[in-house]
Structures are given as C-alpha cells and as structure tokens.
Structure 1
Amino acid sequence: MTYPRAWLIWIIGVFAYLVAVSQRTSFGVVGLEATERFHASAAQISFFTVLQLLVYAALQIPVGVLVDRFGSRAMLAGGAVLMGLGQLELAFADSIPGGVLGRVLVGAGDAMTFVSVIRLIPLWFAPSKVPLLTQLTGMSGQLGQLFSVVPFAIILHAAGWTPAFLTLAGMSGLAVVLVLVLLQDLPPGHPAPKPSQGLRATGVSLSAAWRQPGTRLGMWSHFTVQFSGTVFAMTWGYPFLLSAQGLDAVTASALMALYVAAAIAAGPLMGSFVARHPLRRSTMVLLISGATAAAWAAVLLQPARSPLWLLASLVVVLAVGGPGSMIGFDFARTFNPAHRIGTATGIVNVGGFMAALLAIFLIGVTLDALHLAGFSPAGLYSLDAFRLAFCVQFVLLAGGAGAILVIRRKVRRQMAAQGVVVPPLLKTLAGRRRPAAERRRDP
C-alpha cells in the first residue's frame, strides 16, 4: 500500500538528492577556472573529481549497511552536513590540497544520499509504483545538475568563485533542516529494523547480497551505462565543448542543459519500460551501451569539429544512460529481500562511479601525456588530444557489456531452476502475456 505521507517523504528525499547532484556536478563547469585558480594541470584537475568519486564509490557499501541499520533520515542529514562543509572549504581554498579536501567532503556526503532516498521508496509506496518512482527520483535529481549548469555558472561568472560555492553550501544547510523536520524513516505501524548483531551479521548480509547474481548484474549494468555521461557532465564535457569543439560558453551551457532535459524526459519512459517488460531490462542496458559507443565514435571520427546537431545527438544519448543506469537498482530490489536493499543498492552504485573515476583519471593522464609529448601543439585541450583520450571509454563499455552477458546467463539459470523461463525476444515484442512471476522478477 501507499501511505498518506508518502509523497511528502519522497519530495523531501528528492530535494536532498537534488542538492547532492548539484554539489557533485558543480566542479564540471569550473574546470577552466579551477585550472587558473589552483595553477593545475589536466591530470591534477581530473584528480579532484577522481578522488571525489573514489570516496563516493568506496563508501557505497558501508553506507548501504549503515542505512539499513540507522535509517534514511540520519544518513541524509549527515550527508548534507558533510557536503555543506566541503563547499565551504572549497569556497575559500586557493591551493590544490585545500580544494581536494573540499571535494573529498562533498564526495563523502554525496555517497550517503542516493542510497538513502532509494531505500525510502519501497517502504512508503506500493510495489507497483516502485520502478517508476525510482526513475522519477533519478530524473528529479538531475535538476540539481541543471542548477550547476545554469544558476551556479551564472553566479560563478557574475560574482566569482567564493559566492558561487557559498550558495551551494547554503543549499546543503536547507536540506539538513528539511530532512530533520519533515522526513520519517518508516510509515506508521511499520516494524522497526532489528538491532544490529555486530560485524559478523553485517558480513553475512553483505556476502549474501554479493552472492546473489542479480545484485552483480545490477552492478555491471550501472557500471556500463552510467559512467560516460558522468565523465561528460562532471569533468570533461565542458572543456571538450569549449576548447576542442570551439563552442562559446552560452552554446556549451545550452548543450549541458539539454543533457539534463533529455535525462528528465527519458526517466518516465525508462520506468514504464521496466515495469512493463522486466524480462528485457538487461537487453535495454546493452542497447544503451551500444548507442553510447556509436555516438562517441560518430563524434570522434569526424575529420574536423563536429556539427552542432551531432554534438546534441551525443548529449542526448549520454543523458539516456542516467535513467538507464537505474535499471541496476531495480535488479537489486527484485533479487534481494527488503532488509538487504540498502546493502545491495550500495553494491550496485559502486559500479558506475568506479568506471567513471577510472575514465576521468585516464583521460586526464592521457591529455597530459599527449601535451608533454608535443602531440597537441594547439593546447592541452585540443581536439586531436581529446579524440585519443576519449577512446578510453570504448574499453570500459566493451568490458562492462561482456560482464553483463556472462552474469545474465547465471541469473537466467537461477531463474530457470525456480521455474521461470525467459521467452525469446520476438515474443516479448509481440506483446505476449507473461505469467505474474515473470513480470515480477526477470531481467
């Protein structure tokens, strides 16, 4: 059932996530300013985001365990406090160590947010609403990226570095107040979670979540479709559009806003697809991965700068990867019991951000190496240098797709042993009515 206060609880959680996304992606539009402020190289600038994502990814599993133990309210409030402190540090930092400390705090607070919001949904809403609301959560959170692309960028260019980051810190403060005053962990009458039984019990829960092939399928799905858009939005998209493609700041900001709009538009469609065709969740992940590779190939193989329509097409494809990555969390939900959802969701969330930090770091190192070798006389962020550096993504896309195919076979063997058989794709496309058990769980 859906409880009366469920929508208020969800809105507060979504706002906290929106704030977290704005904090996470804010560095993506200050790459050129940060290079000047900190006198940093491309590898050093990439290190800011890599370390932030490393902290985020490293904390996902501990956060999943903690949110199962202490609830979403405490974790969301704590995460907002950490992000606010991180942005305060960054607002006044004028050296690389100070800036890195700020991003580490932001990464730690961000890590505590999404898993906590996702855990609220199956507790407060009927199961039939969960897939769509999961997509809407991710979609709504993308408005935070829109804030970093437009208002934050305007404040940055009009008022300067410090006022811009103080604005982000203020948003975190507002999130803390709303969460503590209005958010509840459990609906009325819902049994409280059992007290923790210590490290051994935690280890057993973590091991059980990992041994479930559906959890690992979710992790590799998230790994494969989420990272490329994150790389583009958080670090290298803005420099690529400005320096390599020669766009002006207004056009580049418009494309980044298109990224957010496309993700918002794709979210409900993806949620509806998952609810109607759970048998084809992994197939959709593979299709998105193939489209991502094709879009990048089309841009990088251009003999000169890409036309605006092609760059816009790339942005739209990358944006679809955000809602597509939410399929991984649906695997975690459907293949794990309720008391283990936070842990399983944390495992899944590690995937995309590990891939993103690898890609961001390797792209930065490649750009620096090419510049030092004299390959890019046009500058550190030249088009030729980006062409080679961005090829790192094809390796990660291929590796992730291969892992999905391997683990999907294990999942389907497990389901077959339980009497659930995945029909041929053509039958699904023809709209064959599926048994309830198939509609509930299958990939």
Structure 2
Amino acid sequence: MSSTQLRVFLLFSAGYFVSYVFRGVNLGFAPLITHDLGLSAADLGLLTSLYFLGFAGAQIPAGVLLDHFGSRRVTAGTLLFAAAGIGVFGAAHSIGTMMLGRLLIGVGVSVCLGAAFKALAQHFEAARLPLMNGLVMAVGGLGGVMVGTPLTWVLTFAGWRAVCVGLGVLTILVALALWFGAPETREERGHASLISQFKGTWHILKSPAFWKIASFSVVTQGVFYAMQSLWVGAWMRDVMGLAPREAAAQVSILGFAMMAGCVGFGAAARGLERRGVSLYAFCGVGMALFVLTQMLIMAGVPLPAGLLWAAYGIFGGTGILSYAVMARHFPAHLIGRANTTLTLIIFLLIFGFQIGVGAVLSRWPASAGRYPAAAHLTAWGVLVALQVASAIWYVLPGRALAKSGQLQAEHQS
C-alpha cells in the first residue's frame, strides 16, 4: 500500500468512525438526557431517530455533490454541519433544540461512507476494493464499540454536555485532516443533475428485482441499527437486569462482533461462491440467523449474554451483502443509484423503527426510568414479525430476479 493509499484509507475511515459514534452516542446519553429533560421513551426514540432522517434525506443531494466536487471537499465541508449539530445538541435545554441538533448531525455525516467508497475506488485497483471497503466498515464499527464501555467510563467523570463538546472538537479535527491531508482528485464534470438522480431513484423503486433483493435486507438492517444505536441498552437494563456498566460491556461486545462480521462474511461469501453457493442464498441464511438470534434473546435462553450479543452483532450486518447482490442483477450504469436507493430505504426504516419502539414502550408506565419486560417484548415482537414476513417474500421464487440476472449477463457479454 502506497503512502497516498494509506492516507486515503486512514482519513476516510476516520470520517466514517465519527459518523458511527454519532449514530450510537445516544445509547450512552439516554439515561442522562431522559433524567435531565424528563423525556418519555417516545420522545427519546423520535430524538435519536432524527439522525437517520437527516442522513436519509441527504443521500441523493450528497451523491450529486460527491460527483461534482469530490470526496475530500464534500466530506470535510459536511462534517462541519455535524460539528455544529453536536454543539446545538449539547447546549440545548429543550427537546426541540436537541432535535434540530440531531438532524444536523445526520445531514453532516451522510456522505462519510459513500465518500470513503468513492475515494477508495479512485486510488485502489478493483480487485482490492471488497477488502478495503470491509476494512472501512470495520473501522466504523469501532465507533459502535466506543459508545459502549468507553463512553460509560467517560460519563463517570464528565457530563454528557462536556462529551458533546469533545465530539465537536474531534469532528472539526477530522474535517481539517481530510481537507489538508487527503489527496486531491480530478472530478469529471457533466454528472447527473439532482433531478435526474431523483428520476433514477424512482426508476429503481419501480423495479420488481430491486424489491426482491432488498425485501429482507432493508428490514433486518433497519432493525439492527435501530436497536444497536439506542434500544439494546434499554433492553439490557430493563429486561435482563444488567447494571449500566455490564450493559455497556455487552454493547462493546456487539460492536466488536459486528466488525468481525463485516470482514468475515465478505471473505466467506467469495469462497462459497466459488463452490457454487449463490451470494443471494448466503445473504439470506445470514439474515435468517440474525432473526433466530433475536428470538433467542427474547426467549431468555440460558446462554451467556456475551455469546448472544456477539451473535447479534455478527449476523446483524449480513444484510450489507445485498449491495453486492445488486451488482449481479443491475447493469453498471444503474448500480450507483440502486445502492443509494437501498441506503435511503434502510435509513428511513431505522428512523421509523426507532420511533415505533419508543411509541410502544410509552404505552406502559415507566418506573424509575425503566419499562416492564412486556413492553420491550411487544415492541421487539412486532419487529421480528416484520422480518419474518420479509423473509418469506425473499425466499419465494420470483421471475423478476431471474429475468434481471439474465439481462445483466447479456449486458456483460
């Protein structure tokens, strides 16, 4: 790896790491801001989910900006919105102001992963991209580890508002490092306009093949990130009876397991494909194991908590393989739009699921900031039912998928 390639990998990975920390930081903040502002579970779910709404809403404009101005400029510039957002969030004394801050954060980090993938594609040969993309995802997953035990430890001697200041400073430093340290690339002009991008998204949304591929993955990914970034902490405290530090340790285990899954499943998929196992089937098996893991957690099976939450992390990210499945069924000129559309739907579902879980929990009375096990079981049971329904659609035979694969093969030949 050359020095330029190393800079690209490290700097854009740092950007995605910051994005992931912001995604899950409310998991650690939740008990504190709930106490300070008197929030209900519904309030907390709406507040946290606005990150995902801002992220989803910015996807298409962000893609246009990346095409016109490049990863370095756009990532460094938009991260300043995230820094402003955490500043507003940390200084807020009302839920309305906090919601504005959370929305700004989502917009500010919306380009981090897409920009990293674009920058890697410009500096690494195609054969190395699956590994490099997986490594960036793993570094981002480290942010999921940091919002567990490390954040809980910091909060023992620093208030959550002080942590917000620290996150703002970190974000500005990463933005500056990207602006001054990332290599410049020459961007071609004449890329698609914002209107044409929306038209492309609409075209993908009308594709039966897209929905056949996306059906299971968008729901499982929506559930995984909605729970990981907020509600697993409440489940561990309220249902499992874990102390805050024990719950934080399990969150970190989950984060480490997700990092391993991002790299391991990508490598395993390539090996199995050589043996005749389709990526579509392998992805489906991984997502089915994720649903099974959730059922085991809900049933309270007598297995070590660390094992269950590690399985949740490992299998939770397998739906990401759907991005590679898309490449098997759509021509090259549509892959970017198909991926953007998939990301958009996933983040809209995360937004909806976080609100939904909070709304369900709020139908039960809270005691000392905790909700009864029945409330959590009801909320998660609905999510599992949605995943099972989407799994049925995923495994049913469909002509649209076979037809799209045939068209793709003809296009490549």
Partner of residue 152, structure 2: 153
Cα distance change, pair 404–73 in 1 and its aligned pair in 2 (3 A): farther
Q: Distance in 1 between matches of 2:381 and 2:19?
A: 29
Shift of 1:314: 3.0
Q: Distance in 2 between matches of 1:132 and 1:397?
A: 29
Q: Distance in 1 between matches of 2:70 and 2:208?
A: 26
Shift of 1:417: 4.7
Paired AA for residue 111 in structure 2: M
Q: Secondary structure at the residue paired with 1:133?
A: helix
Q: Distance in 2 between matches of 1:409 and 1:24?
A: 38
Shift of 1:232: 2.4
Q: Distance in 1 between matches of 2:193 and 2:296?
A: 52
String of CA shifts for 1:167-207, please: whole Å, max 9, x gaps. Answer: 11111011101110122363xxxx73232464554445445
String of CA shifts for 1:277-332, please: whole Å, max 9, x gaps. Answer: 45622222222222222222223234xxx6561x3333122212454132133245
State whether structure 2 residue 246 is matched by structure 1 residue 256. Answer: no
Partner of residue 390, structure 1: 380
Shift of 1:208: 5.3
Shift of 1:406: 6.1
Q: Secondary structure at the residue paired with 2:362?
A: helix
Partner of residue 238, structure 1: 233
Cα distance change, pair 198–109 in 1 and its aligned pair in 2 (3 A): closer
Partner of residue 296, structure 2: 298
Q: Secondary structure at the residue paired with 2:255?
A: helix
String of CA shifts for 1:397-429, please: whole Å, max 9, x gaps. Answer: 124324534697523222235658xxxxxxxxx
Q: Which stretch shows the higher mean deviation, 208-217 or 382-391?
A: 208-217
State whether structure 2 residue 268 is matched by structure 1 residue 273. Answer: yes
How many residue pairs get matched? 409
Cα distance change, pair 290–202 in 1 and its aligned pair in 2 (3 A): closer
Q: Are 2:67 and 2:191, in contact at CA under 8 Å, matched by a contact in 1?
A: no
Partner of residue 122, structure 1: 121
User: Residue 324 of structure 1 is aligned with which of 287, 295, 318?
Assistant: 318
String of CA shifts for 1:26-53, please: whole Å, max 9, x gaps. Answer: 0111111111111111100111122221
User: Residue 315 of structure 1 is aligned with which of 309, 317, 323?
Assistant: 309
User: Residue 192 of structure 1 is aligned with which of 182, 187, 202?
Assistant: 187
Partner of residue 400, structure 2: 410
Aligned positions of 1:69-80 closer than 5 A: 69-80=68-79
Q: Secondary structure at the residue paired with 2:242?
A: coil
String of CA shifts for 1:190-232, please: whole Å, max 9, x gaps. Answer: x732324645544454455556666555644541332232122
Q: Distance in 1 between matches of 2:279 and 2:8?
A: 28
Partner of residue 166, structure 1: 165
Shift of 1:58: 2.3
Shift of 1:151: 2.9
Partner of residue 111, structure 1: 110
Q: Distance in 2 between matches of 1:265 and 1:32?
A: 29
Q: Distance in 2 between matches of 1:247 and 1:258?
A: 14
Q: Secondary structure at the residue paired with 1:120?
A: helix
Cα distance change, pair 339–122 in 1 and its aligned pair in 2 (3 A): farther
Sequence identity (%)? 20
Q: Distance in 1 between matches of 2:314 and 2:398?
A: 22
Q: Which stretch shows the higher mean deviation, 103-112 or 145-154?
A: 145-154
Cα distance change, pair 77–336 in 1 and its aligned pair in 2 (3 A): farther
Cα distance change, pair 30–22 in 1 and its aligned pair in 2 (3 A): same
Q: Which stretch shows the higher mean deviation, 333-342 or 109-118?
A: 333-342
Shift of 1:92: 1.5
Shift of 1:160: 0.9
Shift of 1:263: 1.3
Partner of residue 370, structure 1: 364
Segments of 5+ residues of structure 1 without an aligned counterpart are 421-436, 439-443
Paired AA for residue 103 in structure 2: V
Q: Distance in 2 between matches of 1:296 and 1:122?
A: 35
Q: Distance in 2 between matches of 1:65 and 1:131?
A: 23
Q: Distance in 1 between matches of 2:67 and 2:211?
A: 19
Cα distance change, pair 13–209 in 1 and its aligned pair in 2 (3 A): farther
Cα distance change, pair 150–333 in 1 and its aligned pair in 2 (3 A): farther
User: Residue 357 of structure 1 is aligned with which of 351, 359, 364?
Assistant: 351
Shift of 1:262: 0.8
| TM-score relative to the length of structure 2 | 0.88
Paired AA for residue 170 in structure 1: V
Paired AA for residue 291 in structure 1: L
Paired AA for residue 271 in structure 2: R
Segments of 5+ residues of structure 2 without an aligned counterpart are none
Cα distance change, pair 336–117 in 1 and its aligned pair in 2 (3 A): farther
Q: Which stretch shows the higher mean deviation, 198-207 or 50-59?
A: 198-207
Q: Which stretch shows the higher mean deviation, 93-102 or 215-224?
A: 215-224
Q: Are 1:215 and 1:331, in contact at CA under 8 Å, matched by a contact in 2?
A: no
Shift of 1:339: 6.5
Paired AA for residue 281 in structure 1: L
State whether structure 2 residue 242 is matched by structure 1 residue 247. Answer: yes
Paired AA for residue 92 in structure 1: A
Q: Are 1:131 and 1:271, in contact at CA under 8 Å, matched by a contact in 2?
A: yes
Paired AA for residue 320 in structure 1: I
Q: Secondary structure at the residue paired with 1:369?
A: coil
Shift of 1:380: 4.5
Cα distance change, pair 75–218 in 1 and its aligned pair in 2 (3 A): farther
